[in-house]
Chains A and B, each alone.
Chain A
Amino acid sequence: MSYFRAENLSLHFGGLKAVDAVSFAVEKGEILSIIGPNGAGKSSIFNLISRIYRPTSGRIFFEDQDITEQPPYDIAKLGIARTFQNIELFENATVLSNLLVGRHRHSTTQLWQELLFLPNVRANEKLHRRRVEQVIEFLDLEPYRDKLISGLPYGVRKVIELARALCSEPKLILLDEPSSGLNVEETDDMSFWIRDMRSELGITVLMVEHDMTLVNRVSDRVIALNYGRVLAMGSPAEVQQHPDVVAAYLGA
């Protein structure tokens, strides 16, 4: 049984088949990339997994549990975190409170305890703060702790979004174009972090990416999509030489 599995996943908007009977599996500890031209349905698959969209048909399994009908907030509680293509941070809050929201799935305190800020709330807050600090150290975010998101440059925001996802201590992380908008150096850093996430934190990674250098450097396997269908699946080199993939990109 695989760690994470999508079976015949479909998403139709009227007559448009954004995702059309896509099946794939992710093994524990794997880095799997999804590539494809614009509009191939890559982000839609992510939105299906994190339940922003409801699949038209098909099922999703995580750790042998059917999560197709789970409400969106439960997906995070199961240990699936995600980042967004266009950055969805909490603009008018500080970096620290953004990262602490990532800890939400671990909060156990009750409302009335929080109103009085009882010792258990304080202890919990310190624990969260310590965990957040570990992530800050991991991603070199020390200079930004108390800054407001709205004043930060794009590249930093991208890293903070990754940090927020890591703060929830996920088992599986979905990265939606981690390198979009980043310069060459930042993309380099990102590729190291993605590999470290697997080796040091034991996180399984599923990512959508356009930058083939990054894909080649980090992925164990690659899935190529076009028009919502799987074109090819295999090692990065195999997929890039697959005739259908070449045709999809070059329009032959």
Chain B
Amino acid sequence: MRFLFKTDYEDDIKLFPHSGYVVSYGLLIALLLIAPYVLSSYLMSQLVFVCIYATVGVALLILTGFTGQASLGHAAFLAIGAYTAAYLQKYNVPFPVYFLAAGLLTGIVGAMVGFPALRLQGIYLVIATISFAFIVEEILARWESVTNGNEGMRIKTLSLLGVAVPRDSPTFYFLCLAVLVLTIVGTLNLLRSPTGRAFVAIRDSETAARSMGVNVALYKVKSFAISAAITGFAGVLFAHKLSFISPEMFTLQLSIEFIIVILIGGTFSLHGAVLGAIFIVMIDPFLTYLKDDMPGIIAGVAATFGAGTEAAGNIQSKVAAFASLNGLKGAIYGIIIVLFVLFEPLGLYGRWLKIKLFFQLFPLYKRATFKRQKIYVKSERNR
């Protein structure tokens, strides 16, 4: 185990507490930089989606993880970013301009959603954000002169400073990676400055935050705006990656996927957003694999245990029918959320910390280390 001797206040502020961090993150960045020249094009495409989902995850973490305001409307923010890009592209606006414009517009919309949210708490806020998402979805479907309605919009190939950047090129991947890294660095900067601490204060006790001079309303709106703006940036990349967008892509299910990203990754640290993004992007091919191969495997196992050819075929068709049921994916997502909330509330990153601590303290690790102390004295909250 390493003991840090702090000799300067700088030691409490800097992003990398010791040289080990520099080495491991340096290694990670190096691996990510050589990835496009090593990995298959399918995995590269998945990696781009991981970057985009992780960016949205970081945005959602700012709002939900650190400010304590739940949102099931982030698919709508993503949609606004994507459609702004698609619309401005029609008028030959260059990429940097519509990229920034999408973030700005989404940020403004986010602040507008934040205002009514000031009076809502918990589950009511969730319902308000869901309704906002439905409103946006409906507008996208009906406002045909701008959004082309349900027919959707085609996105032209990204052109950066006159150079075409196809959606499966390494350059596009680097662009997504850069956006993710800048988002993470910006968020970390925010979290170690007064604004980030005010967010955390609002999450844990609005009354105390107020009595310490935090303008709770202003900071909630700020949190909504920042979160939405980042999601808007991600939306532009999302649109380019898919090259075609339509309203039914930005449904409640996508918002739930974003919630899964942070719930499964861990809501207390930015690592969670990245781990959760990897999880959610990789679960889709895994489910497809299960759907394609599971019936055959189960039938094979049944045959080995003495089932006749006909019985095995019967089992195979039944499993196949089950695997292709409508809404099975949603059900699996639901089960995953429930299991994580019950058994791993700190998420994948929490699990990683536990494993790390286990080896650091071996053989002295106690399971109770991560147990939260129960709070017996709780004041009636003055909302």
Is the contact region of chain A dominated by helix, strand, or loop, or is it mixed? helix
State the total of A-B contacts with C-beta under 8 angstroms: 133
- Contact in complex: A117, B193 (CB < 8 Å): yes
Given contacts A90-B200, A117-B189, contact A109 B194 (CB under 8 A): yes
Interface string of A124-140 (1 = CB under 8 A from B): 01100110010000000
Given the known inter-chain contacts A88-B207, A97-B200, A115-B186, please indicate yes or no for A105 contacting B213, CB distance below 8 A. yes
* Complex interface: chain B residues within 8 A of A154 (CB): 377
Question: Is A221 positioned at the interface, with any CB of B under 8 Å from its CB?
Answer: no
Q: In whole angstroms, how far apart are the Cα atoms of A130 and B9 in the complex?
A: 8
With a cutoff of 8 Å between Cβ atoms, the chain B residues found around residue A126 in the complex are: 9-10, 13
Q: Within residues 69 to 88 of chain A, which ones have a CB less than 8 A from any CB in chain B?
A: 71-77, 81-82, 84-88
Q: Which of B46-54, B127-135, B214-222 sits within the interface?
A: B214-222
A-chain residues with CB within 8 Å of residue B192 when the two chains form the complex: 117, 125
How far is B212's CA from A81's CA once the two chains are assembled, in angstroms?
Answer: 7
A73-B216, A81-B211, A92-B204 as given contacts; A104 in contact with B12, CB under 8 Å:
no
Q: What residues of B have a CB within 8 angstroms of the CB of A101 in the complex?
A: 197-198, 200-201, 209, 212, 214
How far apart sit A202 and B211, CA to CA, in the bound complex (Å)? 21
| B318 within 8 A of partner (CB) | no
Kindly list chain B residues whose C-beta atoms are within 8 Å of the C-beta of A114.
189-190, 193-196
- Contacting B197 at CB < 8 Å: which of A87, A100, A133? A100
- As a 0/1 sequence over residues 7 to 21 of chain B, the CB contacts with chain A under 8 angstroms (1 = contact) are 001101100000000
Q: Which of B209-235 contact A (CB under 8 A)?
A: 209-216, 222, 226
Alpha-carbon separation in the docked complex, A49 to B186 (Å): 38
> CB of B208 within 8 A of chain A?
yes
Instruction: Knowing A90-B204, A97-B197, A168-B213 are in contact, say whether A52-B382 is a contact too (CB < 8 A).
Output: yes
**A89 with B208: CB separation less than 8 A:** yes
Please tell me if A91 contacts chain B, counting CB pairs below 8 Å. yes
Determine if A184 is an interface residue (Cβ-Cβ < 8 Å).
Answer: no
Interface pair A89/B204, CB less than 8 Å apart: yes
Which residues of the other chain, B, contact A85 by a CB distance below 8 angstroms?
Answer: 379
| A73 to B207 CA separation, bound complex (whole angstroms) | 10
CB atoms of A168 and B212 under 8 A apart: yes
Known: A82-B211, A102-B212. A115 touches B189 (CB 8 A): yes
Which of B213, B214, B378 gathers most chain A CB within 10 Å?
A: B213
Question: Do the beta carbons of B213 and A122 come within 8 Å of each other?
Answer: no
A88 near B205 with CB under 8 A, answer: yes
Does A151 sit at the interface, judged by CB under 8 A? yes
> Is there contact, CB below 8 Å, between A88 and B379?
yes
Determine the distance from Cα of A102 to Cα of B213 in the docked complex, in whole angstroms.
Answer: 8
The answer on a CB contact under 8 Å between A86 and B377 is: yes
Give chain A residues whose Cβ lies under 8 Å from the Cβ of B13. Answer: 122, 125-126, 129
> Is B373 an interface position by the 8 A CB rule?
yes
Q: Is A111 an interface residue when CB atoms closer than 8 A count as contact?
A: yes
Once A90-B201, A130-B9 are accepted as A-B contacts, the answer to whether A73 and B208 lie under 8 Å apart by CB is: no
- Judged by a CB distance under 8 angstroms, whether A40 is at the interface is no
**Residues B153-207 near A (CB distance < 8 A):** 186, 189-190, 192-198, 200-201, 203-205, 207
A231 at the interface (CB under 8 A from B): no
Q: Within residues 21 to 35 of chain A, which ones have a CB less than 8 A from any CB in chain B?
A: none
Closest to B193 in A: A114
A77 to B195: give the CA distance in the assembly, Å. Answer: 16
Q: Counting CB contacts under 8 A, is B2 at the interface?
A: no
What residues of chain B lie closer than 8 Å to A130, measured between beta carbons?
Answer: 9
Docked CA distance A147–B194 (Å): 19
CA distance A116 to B379 in the complex (A): 38
Q: What are the residues of chain B within 8 A of A151 when measuring CB–CB? A: 372-373
Contacting residue for A125 out of B193, B201, B377, CB 8 A: B193
- How far apart are the CA atoms of A89 and B193 in the complex, in Å? 19
Tell me which of A82, A87, A109, A115 has the highest count of chain B C-beta atoms within 10 A of its own C-beta.
A115
A76, A101, A168: which has the most chain B beta carbons within 10 Å?
A101
**Chain A positions 163 through 187: 1 when the CB is less than 8 Å from some CB of chain B, otherwise 0:** 0100010000000000001000000
Top 3 nearest A-B pairs (CB, nearest first) are A76-B213, A86-B379, A107-B194
Chain A interface residues toward B at CB < 8 A: 47, 50, 52-53, 71-77, 81-82, 84-93, 96-97, 100-105, 107, 109, 111, 114-117, 121-122, 125-126, 129-130, 133, 150-151, 154, 164, 168, 181
Known contacts A47-B382, A74-B213, A84-B207, then 6 further A-B pairs from the complex at CB < 8 Å, ordered by chain A residue: A73-B216, A87-B377, A88-B205, A90-B200, A151-B373, A164-B212
A–B complex contacts, Cβ < 8 Å, 8 sampled: A72-B211, A73-B214, A86-B378, A87-B377, A90-B201, A90-B209, A104-B197, A126-B10
